[in-house]
Chain A
Amino acid sequence: MSTPFYVSPQQAMADRAEYARKGIARGRSLVVLQYADGIVFVGENPSRALHKFSEIYDRIGFAAAGKYNEYENLRIGGVRYADLRGYTYDRDDVTARGLANVYAQTLGTIFSSAAEKPYEVELVVAEVGETPEGDQIYRLPHDGSIVDEHGSVAVGGNAETISSYLDQRHQDGMSLAEALKLAVQALSRDTNGSEREIPAERLEVAVLDRTRPQKRKFKRIVGRQLGRLLEVGGASTEAESADDADGSEEK
């Protein structure tokens, strides 16, 4: 009979972390930024059908980098958790903190369980408050830890380069167009610091807009509206963030 090789727990965990990190790094990065009226999610996504961002509940949005089937699984789990909470108690009782805790537990259990391979995903859970001070952004790395972020956060392949770029330039109270412009600039430094152009049709953009009159604050920005925002980019504007295309754009 052969005896298995001894692998120290430190080594085993390091290997698993390395595996997960590599998997995440293969995907494109995405960024989440606070702006004056809410939180904006921006990422590069060639697919129109497989979303990286989605709505979890009234004020809560979800963003994920990494392996699609794994984060899709977590997303559906999150929607179920939130809807069940909201139905059993009240809509106000569903919070980003509670959801982030559930995700941390799930990811942590999977990461340290020897029977399963670690998930190659990194998540962001964001909740938009009544005021900018009430906004919450949580980043959840593959190992189940939670990082409470402010202002801006990047996850995915070149997250470190991008987030340091964002940290230097992000200010509170930016308009949506300004924030979007900054996000696209940051994302275009994805590969090795050299800049490249990302066309509008490869961008996936969504917002949690606190000025929306509906209970559900999540909205995707697509097509003409996105083009208009990108054109404005930087120049100070106020009108376009108003929900001019409310009913038609949020399917």
Chain B
Amino acid sequence: MDFLSEHQPEILPGNRQLPPTQGVIEAPHGTTIVAVTFPGGVVLAGDRRATMGNVIAQRDIEKVFPADEYSAVGIAGTAGLAVEMVKLFQLELEHFEKVEGAQLSLEGKANRLSTMIRSNLGMAMQGLAVVPLFAGYDVDRERGRIFSYDVTGGRSEEHNFAATGSGSIFARGAMKKLFRNDLSEADATMLVVQALYDAADDDSATGGPDVARRIYPIVTVITEDGFRRLTEDESSEIARSILERRLEQPDGPRAALL
């Protein structure tokens, strides 16, 4: 935010001096975020685990946030920094909207997030990286879009589906096999939870649905009508139906061989 950097630069995350450190700093890290587009919108979801080394730091962390009415951001990487970055990002979009009387374009929002990640590069090189996934409904083009980032702020638009975080390799594999072009909203929410389940299956840092503690993935849907987060009942319903099928087929749905 330009005003803030002149007025009170010390509260911007990128402007803080870091003490030189030896080795890697231990801080909670968020893990897997997945996103899928469907005709009419986009679904963004995340698991609930934060890890610190081999320890589970938090079981019910929330890593998917609304950025504004038509977009959301899911974060993987150092949880504390990421949450602060999201807070500043939300503030900036809202501030722009109020001052200018119009929303930023989806590209504009994605670019803004890119510069914010770039300003964190110093910390990223000390092991405190933040790698978000940005998804939103493009009101002008009337479709859902996904943007992924790297630690240097490099931005690229993803088509159909994307994942970030430690379990992303497994989640992407699952989505690749399950994705179709004619998914309904309900199919898309089912698909992301399947992908998160597969990620949790093979990645120790990603948390699966925790039935005993009633902790289920956060699933958000963005369509023409705006941002909506699935209620706990809805996401538990999806997670439970998947669990039930996996009791018979532990590896999940099978794709056709040819």
A residues at B contact (CB < 8 Å) = 49, 51, 54-56, 76, 79-80, 83-84, 86-88, 216, 246-247, 250-251
Contact = CB atoms under 8 A, between A and B. Distances in A.
Contact of B4 (A51, A84, A216, A251): A84
Interface stretch (B21-29, B96-104, B166-174, B246-254): B96-104
Interface stretch (B39-47, B87-95, B209-217): B87-95
Given A84-B4, A86-B91, A247-B69, A79 B98 contact: yes
B101 A51 contact: yes
Interface in B1-53: 3-4, 7-8, 11
Contact of A83 (B69, B94, B224, B226): B94
Contacts of B103: 251
B225 interface: yes
Interface of B: 3-4, 7-8, 11, 69, 87-88, 91, 94-95, 98-99, 101-103, 224-226
Contacts of B224: 247
Given A246-B226, A247-B226, A87 B11 contact: yes
Contacts, number: 35
B11 A56 contact: no
B4 A79 contact: no
A76 B99 CA distance: 6
A250 B224 CA distance: 13
28 contacts: A49-B101, A51-B101, A54-B98, A54-B101, A55-B98, A56-B98, A79-B95, A79-B98, A80-B3, A83-B91, A83-B94, A83-B98, A84-B4, A84-B7, A84-B8, A86-B91, A87-B11, A87-B87, A87-B88, A87-B91, A88-B11, A216-B94, A246-B225, A246-B226, A247-B69, A247-B225, A247-B226, A250-B69
Contacts of A55: 98
Contacts of A51: 101
A184 B231 CA distance: 41
Contacts of B87: 87
A79 B99 contact: yes
Contacts of B101: 49, 51, 54
A46 to B, nearest CB: 17
The winner among A51, A80, A86 for most chain B CB atoms within 10 A is A80
8 closest cross-chain pairs (CB), A and B:
A247-B226, A83-B95, A79-B98, A247-B225, A87-B91, A55-B98, A79-B99, A76-B99
A194 to B, nearest CB: 34
A80 B4 CA distance: 9
Nearest to A216: B94
The winner among B7, B8, B11, B101 for most chain A CB atoms within 10 A is B101
Nearest to B88: A87
A216 B88 CA distance: 17
B111 to A, nearest CB: 20
The winner among A49, A51, A86, A251 for most chain B CB atoms within 10 A is A251
A167 B68 CA distance: 39
A54 B87 CA distance: 23
B135 to A, nearest CB: 17
B87 to A, nearest CB: 7
Contacts of B95: 79-80, 83
Contacts of A83: 91, 94-95, 98
Contacts of A87: 11, 87-88, 91
B124 to A, nearest CB: 23
The winner among A49, A55, A87, A250 for most chain B CB atoms within 10 A is A87
Nearest to B91: A87
B69 to A, nearest CB: 6
Nearest to A87: B91
The winner among B91, B99, B225 for most chain A CB atoms within 10 A is B99
B67 to A, nearest CB: 14
Nearest to B8: A84
A153 B102 CA distance: 28
A55 B225 CA distance: 21
B229 to A, nearest CB: 12
B79 to A, nearest CB: 19
Contacts of A216: 94
A77 to B, nearest CB: 10
Contacts of A251: 102-103
Nearest to A88: B11
